Amino acid sequence: MRKAKLSHIDDSGKATMVDVSHKADTERIAIAKGRVVMESGTLALIKKGEVAKGDVLSVARLAGIMAAKKTHELIPLCHPLPLTSIAVELQVAEPDAVEITATVKTTGKTGVEMEAMTAVSIAGLTIYDMCKAVDRRMRLEAVRLVRKSGGKSGEIILE
């Protein structure tokens, strides 16, 4: 079996940013998902708006949007991208979770998978931060890319 070449490693084995200058600009979309699992009582507080730090879902949504815009500052080899749309949706999933979905779009030379997964991760961490005083057992889980489109590889559906 032939080993796949990693795109972020040069011929001498050093980490490098991929040169995308030769690629065509195309519309690129990525959708990522994840969830924060918690005690049912914590979820009830979120639903009622009774968490001491404020409106958990609204703050987490904004945190996810902000994070997507800063992905290139957080992940060393990501390109800065002109994002054209970022949507972060948070859905209460009875009895004990908040489901997070991020959809990120751009028109450019490289995809937005990292931006979508960063949005989900930071939205989840924000939920954790806002609720940790009442629930230390919370966990962020299953952060993953579920769909991407655009570029040479076209549409990929992973869920």
The Cα 26–Cα 137 span in angstroms is 42
Closest CA to 104 of 90, 91, 114, 93: 114
Dihedral sign, Cα of residue 105, residue 109, residue 112, residue 118? negative
> Does residue 114 sit in helix, strand or coil?
helix
DSSP 6: P
Here the tokens at position 81 are: 């991208």
CA distances from 70 to 47, 56, 119, 120, 144 (A): 29, 21, 9, 13, 19
Closest CA to 28 of 146, 157, 155: 155
Specify whether 55 is catalytic.
Answer: no
Active-site residue (options: 10, 11, 129, 135): 129
Q: Would you name the residues annotated as active-site residues? A: 129
